[in-house]
Structure 1
Amino acid sequence: MNRTTSAAASALSLLTALSLTACGGEGEESDKATGEPRPSASRAKQPTPAEKLAELMVAPADVKGFSVQEHSDEFALAKSPKDVTLDKPVCAPLAYAINQLPLGEPQADLTRVLADEAKGLNSAHTYITLTTYASGGAQSTMADVKKAVAACGDGFTAEGSGDGTSTYDSVAPEDVTPAGDETLGFTSTLTFRGAPHTMHTQIVREGEVVGVYFSVNGAAIANARPSDAKLAPAVVKAQNEKLG
């Protein structure tokens, strides 16, 4: 009787083990060499930081009536933040934001330039630069920008390896529509060939992603016509929605 009971118990244990193995192994395969479970090939691959930004960036379908082009750094102040020198180092985040250079120490960055197709090349263009960071990097970046806006009211000069030197006459905070986990806005001014120009910037943080929106009328600057290049509301709204 004891042997029969023991055999029945052993059989029940075996059936239980087989059942648990069949259920518990769902979605995983055992490594033949080690016997350890390994992820199933069907598990979705996580996007890289660069792929994540490409998904978050506005596309033509998101901003009807605007062209969305890749940004060329041919006439940029510099191709990298390390190639920029400033008379006031605390103002560096503003110089980078205004010149489509990544802020802080991102894992990836992506820039696009948008133009209102109905207004043509002589209108203001909106530049969007998205950057993604390791944990805590986006908050630190926003803190540096806030510090710079507070410290650089009387302007600053940025010298780059590319298109010479840019002197900004003033910087001032600007009220913007709330967005993301935190946001801030500021205006910057410069004078070129005697003509004054005002540019607008908004920076939005959503999680570990930062979006910089910057608007400038390059044609007006080149032709010495005064300008006040406001951000396109439709572009800002569309990009904020993409960021979530």
Structure 2
Amino acid sequence: MKRSTLALPLLSALTLATLTACGGGDGDGASDAKTTDRAKATASASPAKPSVDPAKELAKLLVTKAEAGDYNVREPEAGDAMATTQEQLRVDKAACAPMAYATNYLPLGAPEASLVRVADKGTSTYNYITLATYAPGKAEAAMKGLAKAASACTGGYTAKSDKASTTYSSVKKETAPTGTDTDTGADESIATASVVPYKGTQTMRTQTFRFGDTIVNYFSINTYGFLNGRSSEADIPTDLVKAQNKKLG
């Protein structure tokens, strides 16, 4: 008895739904319109998915002090950079702009986001890590631009900003490290040595790796020569490259 009492309202509801769905004439249009309106209302009421912040995602990929061994890893000091944007850096040879960016720890090309860290061991050598993320295809284009610049600017160039001017007497392509010890699966890499004729010669280096849509650029400079009037040379530390690239591979 109880079963038939419960079943009757259910049967009535199902029958009503069937009749509504199968009805003809003007009722069809009105029902469809109402259904469409309800669907639109539901869609507009649904909370939008939060957009991904490229900078926050990129920050997760930066090597930390705990991961970098003996290196102090921190943000560069305010006012440390010759230029903080590509627009602030002017180059006498347009083709050399990517080299100027790489040696001033600015991102290459047109990234969606970029972050910079400096790592050192308390000595006169400073290693800058510039990490940048790109829209599909933009990272490959940025690497091509850097490769062309390294080839076109062997005779040197001058970069200027409102703060300073630096003349590079030469740019030379070098062999970027490969293999599991350093690149940990990078899609491509470029390495360069740039010379600044200041109280002798000051040689600074870059190593740049692309991992899919992410580029990491390492720039090392030995400030001893600049401060003491002697020639100096900086090398990219393999252990630091290994630690950072491991997080990208």
Give the TM-score of the pair, scaled to structure 1: 0.79
1:80 CA displacement: 1.4
Give the TM-score of the pair, scaled to structure 2: 0.78
Write the letter of the residue equivalent to 1:166. Answer: T
Task: Work out whether residues 169 and 196 of structure 2, in 8 Å CA contact, stay in contact via their aligned partners in 1.
Answer: yes
Task: Work out whether residues 191 and 205 of structure 2, in 8 Å CA contact, stay in contact via their aligned partners in 1.
Answer: yes
Q: Distance in 2 between matches of 1:129 and 1:39?
A: 39
1:148 CA displacement: 0.3
Is 1:183 aligned with 2:185? Answer: no
Q: Distance in 2 between matches of 1:32 and 1:199?
A: 62
Q: Distance in 1 between matches of 2:42 and 2:109?
A: 44
Write the letter of the residue equivalent to 2:202. Answer: H
Partner of 1:145: 146
Q: Distance in 1 between matches of 2:68 and 2:104?
A: 23
Structure 1, unaligned runs of 5 or more: 1-6, 15-30
Which structure has the larger Rg? 2
| Cα shift readout 1:124-166 (whole Å, capped 9, x = no counterpart) | 111000111111111110010011011000111111122x110
1:75 CA displacement: 3.6
Partner of 1:24: none
**Which structure has more helix as a fraction of its residues?**
2
Output aligned runs, 1:47-62, within 5 Å: 47-62=52-67
Structure 2, unaligned runs of 5 or more: 1-10, 19-37
Instruction: Quote the sequence identity (%).
Output: 37
Write the letter of the residue equivalent to 1:50. Answer: A
Q: Distance in 1 between matches of 2:241 and 2:53?
A: 25
1:102 CA displacement: 1.8
| Cα shift readout 1:83-128 (whole Å, capped 9, x = no counterpart) | 1211111000000110111211111110000002xxx333x11100
Task: Work out whether residues 181 and 207 of structure 1, in 8 Å CA contact, stay in contact via their aligned partners in 2.
Answer: yes
Q: Which runs of 4+ in 1 moved over 4 A?
A: 36-41
**Which structure has more strand as a fraction of its residues?**
1
Partner of 1:71: 76
Partner of 1:156: 157
Q: 1:239 aligns with which of 225, 236, 244?
A: 244
SS of 1:242's partner is helix
1:222 CA displacement: 1.9
Write the letter of the residue equivalent to 1:191. Answer: P
Q: 2:41 aligns with which of 34, 38, 44?
A: 34
Is 1:84 aligned with 2:85? Answer: no
Task: Work out whether residues 167 and 190 of structure 1, in 8 Å CA contact, stay in contact via their aligned partners in 2.
Answer: yes
Is 1:196 aligned with 2:196? Answer: no
Q: 1:229 aligns with which of 234, 241, 246?
A: 234
1:33 CA displacement: 6.9
Task: Work out whether residues 220 and 227 of structure 1, in 8 Å CA contact, stay in contact via their aligned partners in 2.
Answer: yes
Bigger shift: 47-56 or 138-147?
Answer: 47-56
1:76 CA displacement: 2.2
Write the letter of the residue equivalent to 2:123. Answer: L
CA RMSD of aligned residues (A): 2.4
SS of 1:52's partner is helix
Task: Work out whether residues 224 and 232 of structure 2, in 8 Å CA contact, stay in contact via their aligned partners in 1.
Answer: no
Q: 1:97 aligns with which of 78, 102, 110?
A: 102
Q: Distance in 1 between matches of 2:193 and 2:176?
A: 11
Task: Work out whether residues 73 and 79 of structure 1, in 8 Å CA contact, stay in contact via their aligned partners in 2.
Answer: no
Q: Distance in 1 between matches of 2:51 and 2:44?
A: 20
